[in-house]
Structures are given as C-alpha cells and as structure tokens.
Structure 1
Amino acid sequence: MKIIPAIDLLDGQVVRLQKGDYAQKSVYNENPVEEAAKFKNAGFSHIHVVDLNGAKSGTFENLSIIKKIINELGLSVQTGGGVRSRSDIDQLLNAGLSGVICSSMAVKKPDEWIGAVSDHPEKMILGLDLKDGKMAYGGWLETSDQSISDFLQPMIDAGLQTVLSTDISRDGMLSGPNINMYEELQSDFPNLNWIASGGVSNTDDLKNLQNIDVYGVVVGKAYYEKKISLDQLAELHID
C-alpha cells in the first residue's frame, strides 16, 4: 500500500479543514515547500497537494507553490482543486503534475473529462467524494443522485485506472477510515486502483487499510496532529 502524504494549501499556507468547512481550518506551516521537504527527506517521492482556494474559485491560486515543490525538490505531485475544463488539465500537466484529480469536472463536463482519461489514463485520477452515500463535488457543496456504477462505467471504458475516494463525514475528524466503504468499492470495481482518503487517525487505521489491500492512502491531519510520526509513515509505506 502506498502512503501518500498530503499538503492542503489555502492562502499559501499548509492547512487542514474539518469536513471541508473553510471556516474550520488549522494552519500547520506557512511555508509549504519546507513542509514538502520533510516528506522528501523521509524517503517519500510522491505527495498529494490540494489547492483549496482553487476548489472554490476555479483558479489555480497556489500553482506557483506546487511548481516550486516539483522543481526545487524533485517530488512527484498529484493535485486537485479548481479543475474545471480540459484546458485546466493541460495547464497542470504542462506545469509538471504527475496526477490530476477531478471530481466536479467529471460530473459537469463528462465528455471533456473522459477525453482526458482516454489521452492520459495513467495521470487522470477521479476524485470520488461521498457524503451520506451520495457523490459530492464542487468543494463538497453539491451532491448527485446518480449511481456510482453508472457514473464510473464510461470512465472505466475510457481507461480510468485510479480513483481517490473520500468519506466526507470522516475527513479531518481522526475518526478512522470507512473500511466497509472501501471494501465495497474494491469488490464492485476490482480493476481500479483505490486510494483511501479521510479519517486516518493512527497506525492501526493504516494497517486495517493494508489488510483489505487498498492501492494507497492519503494521510494528512493524523500526521499534522502528531497522531502518526513521519518515521511510522515511512515504515508502512511501500513504493
């Protein structure tokens, strides 16, 4: 299982939100490049970066910081937040991103998204955010009644390989990941690489995810709140 350290950017700072609420933020570092360097020094080569400003505005307000992390540290970065169109995807790929995460665009502009998946299947990551069993998008402010199966099948047909799925009710809450949800998703769609996100609070949570053989897990708040050390993350990580 790949462990993917997370950096959430808001106004140029490293922050974490509770349940996606911009009014409930904690600032952990005012220097994101410095924070990313800690992960590199611990042996990680790939990290997860979210532009929270972009998720609301649709503009990559923190892209210059992400490019610094890539160019100065040599890290591989997957990013999401603010991706609204194919031109946005192309801009991010041209900036050096190794993975582009889309959720809103996949709902609102499926033809453009599926075209990008077809052209770059190894770099496109679907952000499947679930709120009370429904798909959520638009910074978790909107939900869809479409079934997950109907939603995913055209993307799978186009070559989709990886899905990052978050149980919003657990994001930033340190309440443990929704193991049953990930088991069901993997059972229903066994050919996809599932990345778990949200709720990880300790090493036992990571081991539970390992036991169900998820492809990867994003770890954020548990690290920043010192529930899991960087050394512990590095020990459990398989590249």
Structure 2
Amino acid sequence: MSLEWFDRVCSEMQDNLESICEDYDELGHMRIDRAAKHPKIEFFVEFEDEDREVFSTLFFDPHNEEFYMEEFDLTTGETFRQILPDIEEILDAVHETFHNFMDNELEDIEEDDEDIYDEDDEDIYDDDDDIDDEEQVYTDGGEYDVIVDVEWTTPEVLAYSYLDEVEVTYKFGVVKETGDGILHRVNRIYTEDDEMIEDETNFIFSKEEAGAIIELIENNMDVMEGFDPS
C-alpha cells in the first residue's frame, strides 16, 4: 500500500481548483485527513458566521491506489462508489459538486430575502461586510493587527483528531506585505450538544527564523509527550 498517488494529487488540487473556477477560488476550501484508514480530502465552504458546510469528500483507497466519491442511490437506498481514475476527472467531480451546492445555497438565500427588508423596503446592512477577507492576528497583549492580504499556499491540513470530539488543523501562508510566513492553527471542540467551539491562533515568523524553529522542534521531539486519551 502506498500514499504516493494521494500525496501527489493533494499537492496539485488547490492550485488547479483555484484556476479552474473563480467562484471556488473565492469561496472554496479543502482539508486533508491523511491519518484515516482511507485518507480523504474534504471540500467545504465557510460562511460569515463561521458555519462550515462540506459539499464534497474525496476518498483514497490505499490498497487499490484509487480515488473515489461515495454517492447515495435514492431508488435502491444503497451507497456506491464513483471511481475517479485521474486528476482531470477528480477536478471535474469536485467542480460539479461545488456548483450544485452553491446553486442550492442561492435558492435558500432567495427564499430568506423577505426577512432582510423592513416594512419600508429599506435594506439592512452589516457594517462588517467590507472586512470579510481580513485576517486578525492577536498579540500577547490582547491587541491585534489586521493583515489584509495573506496568500495561503497550502490547504487546511488535519494534524490531529480524536473521535468526533476534537480536531486540530494547520495551514501555511505568506504575508504579502512583508514576505513572512504565517501558520494558522484551528482547534475545534465538539460538545455533547453538537455545538462547535473554535480557537484560532496565528504564528508569524521570518524566513531567517524558520530554520531555527524547525531545528528546535526536531531536537526536542523525544522529550515531548503525546496525548493519550485512555
């Protein structure tokens, strides 16, 4: 069993999807779960209220070294696999499911438009609409700077998960204004009431610091203790 084909596809997916569709470039995200028995890539849209909707999941069968999506047949009531043999078919499948999802979301929004207007048909606006693309980076003092333009060079990668209770993800980007690297970490905790608590942190560092950071981690891995839920 080999994950070489999985890793190759993961490395190409983000750039290919961004270039194939402007809408996906603005709204779509992907997250890699390499540790699962069948590694997978989840494709999702994140809305303003931080609500995340997964619109497609791409699985990888390491034994047969093939990608597939699962589909549910309403007629038979059974789930079957759609095998995707190459990167072009994978891109087409994700692209199609993205637009099907967004079309359904648009229909829901149009149905809710009546609630946006008051009795005089005056629009209700949100003052935060102009800063949707900004990234807030908090300092130790509790204050924050606003980074307007961060180029994310990797998708969100799952670093750790435990059952359906906790997950930690990372993604890497570059601050365009300074050229510094930025690591974005999200810790998600799912409560018994099916609520999600998110804790987001950002770590910014220069290219000159990167080597020392990597060396510090590598030289101290043996003194760290892993999380043992048992």
Could you tell me the TM-score, scaled by structure 2's length? Answer: 0.25
> Greater CA radius of gyration, 1 or 2?
2
Higher RCO by CA contacts (8 Å cutoff, separation 6 or greater): 1
Higher helix proportion: 1
Q: Which has the higher strand share?
A: 2
TM-score by length of 1: 0.25
